[in-house]
Amino acid sequence: MEPQISELTETAAYHLSEVFRALGDPNRVRMLWMLMDGEKNVTTLAEGLSISEAGVSHHLRSLRQLRLVRARKQGREVYYSLVDEHVSELLRYGLDHVVNG
């Protein structure tokens, strides 16, 4: 069922555009896609994406600010996961559009 949204406020439009801007980077999209399988740490994401841990951390900082991912600390490790099912739905719908467009 689609949400009932009667009006797109200027603030909501701004935040939505920020989410889509974040999804404009292939590494961020691939990172979010990896997190659809469950939480991962920076090292695992860096290895899976073949980019530096510093690069992954930079992307994760942006994704956290947009409330697309969350962090959970366990000892000295930090594990990242998607905030909720809406993020994976957004990715799935986007991929469906690209593949079946």
Task: Place 7 in a pLDDT band, splitting at 50, 70 and 90.
Answer: confident
Q: Quote the mean pLDDT of the chain.
A: 94
Check pLDDT > 60 for residue 39.
Answer: yes
List the strands of the sheet with 40-41, edge to edge: 40-41, 77-82, 69-74
Q: Which long-range contacts (CB under 8 A, 24 or more apart) does 32-37 make?
A: 32/63, 32/68, 32/69, 32/82, 32/87, 32/88, 32/91, 33/91, 35/69, 35/80, 35/81, 35/82, 36/82, 36/88, 36/91
Question: For the chain, what are the domain ranges?
Answer: 10-100
Q: Does residue 1 surpass a pLDDT of 70?
A: no
CATH number of 10-100: 1.10.10.10
pLDDT at 5 over 70: no
pTM: predicted TM-score of the whole model, two decimal places: 0.89
Nearest CA-CA partner of 80 in 33, 42, 28, 30: 42
